[in-house]
Chain A
Amino acid sequence: MSYSDKVLDHNQSPRNVGSLDVNDPNVGTGLVGSPACGDVMRLQIRVNADGRIEQARFKTFGCGSAIAASSLVTELVTGKSLDEAASVKNTAIAQELNLPPVKLHCSVLAEEAIEMAIEDFRRKQAALASTK
């Protein structure tokens, strides 16, 4: 099986690799994984006062498709509102990267990661609001 050009491109020059401070109240972290493939994927977002994602970072230990899917998601969600980011679908990721059927779960993983990061951010904000 060979990777599509887009998958290769994201692997050769991954976008937005790195970490954000998990304890920052404006940062949401999603950590997902697929034991069957031995993949773990962490996706983090920093949300500004307008409720937009101003920064997205990822770190993925997994196959090329998983790396490409998470890299692409960081690109897709940057600058978006949380609702817009939450509507990023795995099918769109898979299509953009030309993922073959056996690698579709990588795009599912990336979607789960962004959903979890948004959820984490909202939970933190809610907790913060309730202590005020």
Chain B
Amino acid sequence: MPDAFDLLGIEPRFSIDAADVERRHRQLLAQLHPDRHRVPESVPAPDLELAPDARESLLTQLGDINNAYRIVSDPIRRAEQLLWRRGVVPDSKAAPELLARVFEQREAVDDATHRGDVDSLSNYATAARKRQSAFIEELAAFFEIESARVSVPQQTQIARVLDELRYLKKLIERAELALDDLL
């Protein structure tokens, strides 16, 4: 089964050229657009429409392409997809230390939200974005160096980084949502 990289016809790498991926996505959508798949112009208007099953198949393909684009554009899902290509499905069981830290951070964001404390919220969001960038760089470095084999300690480390990123994403979302409401 083709994965997200195959569907978009791009090289399976972590470091992607976002503009290039977007261009590729648009090209594919244009190729698949139902208007391009109508029967010849000479046919009267009501018959221009695609047969239901052909339409169905086109819509499925469009959905697959859009989904592939979302996967490749998101660093967490892109990393998961690359690992999957190597036959690695990291076990997602967050470390207690991470959970404790996340709990504290979410509590702090919540408290700041209730206080209407814009400064703290901005600081939390900025700090979280910085950590997010650092983890994404770590992922990039890993996928740059690594060949097809992923050792068990490496898997553990990558799983940890992915968990950090998942929680950071949520933390940033919450902080930014609160800031939007307050500002």
Chain A positions within 8 Å of B, measured between CB atoms, are 31-36, 38, 40, 42, 59, 61
Contacts and interface: CB of A to CB of B under 8 A. Distances in A.
B143 to A, nearest CB: 20
B48 to A, nearest CB: 36
Interface string B128-162: 00000000000000000000000000000000001
B103 A40 contact: yes
A33 B92 CA distance: 10
B109 to A, nearest CB: 9
A61 B174 CA distance: 10
Contacts of A35: 92, 94, 98, 162-163, 166-167
B103 A36 contact: no
Contacts of A59: 103, 107
The 7 closest A-B pairs by CB, nearest first: A38-B170, A61-B106, A35-B163, A35-B166, A33-B99, A40-B103, A35-B94
25 contacts: A31-B96, A31-B103, A33-B98, A33-B99, A33-B102, A33-B103, A33-B167, A34-B94, A35-B92, A35-B98, A35-B163, A35-B166, A35-B167, A36-B166, A38-B166, A38-B167, A38-B171, A40-B99, A40-B106, A40-B167, A61-B102, A61-B103, A61-B106, A61-B107, A61-B110
Contacts of B173: 38
Nearest to B102: A40
Interface of B: 92, 94, 96, 98-100, 102-103, 106-107, 110, 162-163, 166-167, 169-171, 173-174
Nearest to A116: B96
Given A35-B98, A35-B167, A40-B106, 17 more contacts: A31-B96, A31-B103, A32-B99, A33-B94, A33-B167, A34-B92, A35-B163, A36-B92, A38-B166, A38-B167, A38-B171, A40-B99, A40-B103, A40-B167, A61-B102, A61-B103, A61-B174
Contacts of A42: 103
Contacts of B170: 38
Nearest to B96: A31
Contacts of B174: 61
A38 to B, nearest CB: 3
